[in-house]
Amino acid sequence: MERKWLLRWLYASAVLHLAVGLALPWVAAAPALDWYHAVLGPEAQHARQAWWLALFGPTIQCVGLWMLALVWFGDTRREPAAWLWIGAGLLLWGPQDIMVSLRAEVWPNVWLDLATLALLLPAVWRLYVLDRRAAAGASQAGPTAGEGELFRKVLGPEWGKLHPDIQRRFAKNPRPGQALLYDGRLSELRASRIGKLIGFISKPFIQGALIPYDDSGFPVDIQVYGKPGSAHIYKQRIYMLNGRKPIRFTSYMAESESGEVLEYVGLGLGMKLKLHVADGNLHFTSDGYFWDMLGWRIPLPGVLTPGKTYLRHCNEAPNRFNIRIEIRHLLFGTTFVQAGVFQEKCAAEKEAA
């Protein structure tokens, strides 16, 4: 929770820099800033001061954009170095700006610089400490916590109603550098006309999440793995369609602060999932889509999404299961369907991979 609020503060600071930079070229000569021009010099120089102030706007835009990129990098990768780079930039800029402002006796700049350093430096240092501590803990950890722990927690007593083979399957956790590997074949891949349109439009942004083709009888490889310093569970699928280049799609699952199962498909887009057990099999149903943007999870209207997702994991044998996925739109009906049978690769295949 602490990390989330620190990130929100830094995202907001970066966006504020960007917004101020965008505004300066347009408002530098506005009457509302006459008081500031009066601090800088006599009225005869106000036009030149406004020009310099407007010229400074694109520089602040650039700084805001770079800061936004570093915050995003540090947020998504949990990379401690990102916070050090932001801190180094603040320490490089702040003292020099304060010194120049003091020489010219421009006190508004001095107070603004001091406030900026006081508000941002502790935040980036705390994020560095948190992410470095998490990375150190991950390097000493054993297997990544798998889907099973999360699903068991969410299902509660219903977990015991799952087929024992499914329980054992999800109880396996990927070890660092050793993914859980599955292969199989899709007997059905189908997209409606609206589904194909949605798939092609979304392809540049979330490639592989919504496949806009019809096909059948082709192989699919799946890897389930963890990343150092991350509590998320990653799943990569490679669809080897007939006569087309392989399509790679990676998503990850996470637990929200309120204990919900979230699946992210790319660019901060994701969906909440509800789980239930029926006839010993595991069922997933989406409960709304969202866009995680700048530390805030923004719900998306259902009509603007591909549709409600239904996934069924059915056991066939101790090492074999079938999956069926359907996405149904409120207005356009079923937009996407996938169905196939999968099995875990044997230990020899894992070592060869």
- Based on the domain organization, do 129 and 54 belong to the same domain? yes
Task: Provide the terminal-to-terminal Cα distance of the chain, rounded to the nearest Å.
Answer: 38
- Residue that is last in its domain, among 107, 139, 171: 139
Instruction: Find the largest Cα–Cα distance for the chain.
Output: 86
- Based on the domain organization, do 210 and 239 belong to the same domain? yes
- Residue that is last in its domain, among 95, 120, 139: 139
- Each residue of 316-331: pLDDT tens digit? 999 899 999 999 999 9
- Based on the domain organization, do 96 and 121 belong to the same domain? yes
- Based on the domain organization, do 114 and 206 belong to the same domain? no
The beta-carbon contacts of 157-160 under 8 Å, at least 24 apart in sequence, are 158/275, 158/276, 158/277, 159/277
Mean pLDDT, rounded, for 112-130:
93
Confidence of residue 351 (pLDDT cuts 50, 70, 90): very low
C-alpha–C-alpha distance, residues 144 and 32, integer Å: 56
CATH number at residue 254: 2.40.128.20
Residue ranges making up the domain that contains 106: 2-139
pTM assigned to the model: 0.70
C-alpha–C-alpha distance, residues 285 and 311, integer Å: 6
- Based on the domain organization, do 165 and 55 belong to the same domain? no
Contact residues for 317 (Cβ-Cβ < 8 A; gap 6+): 165
- Based on the domain organization, do 162 and 134 belong to the same domain? no
- Based on the domain organization, do 94 and 42 belong to the same domain? yes
Q: Are 84 and 128 in contact (CB under 8 A)?
A: yes
- Report the SS3 class of residue 120: helix
- Residue that is last in its domain, among 106, 139, 172: 139
Per-residue pLDDT, 353: 47
Q: State both tokens at 13.
A: 């600071």
- Based on the domain organization, do 159 and 292 belong to the same domain? yes
- Based on the domain organization, do 35 and 157 belong to the same domain? no
Q: Specify the higher pLDDT residue, 311 or 4.
A: 311
Mean pLDDT, rounded, for 2-10:
87
- Based on the domain organization, do 193 and 304 belong to the same domain? yes
- Based on the domain organization, do 121 and 161 belong to the same domain? no
- Based on the domain organization, do 124 and 234 belong to the same domain? no
Domain count, the chain: 2
Q: Is the per-residue pLDDT at 347 higher than 50? A: no
- Each residue of 199-235: pLDDT tens digit? 999 988 888 899 999 999 999 999 998 876 667 788 9
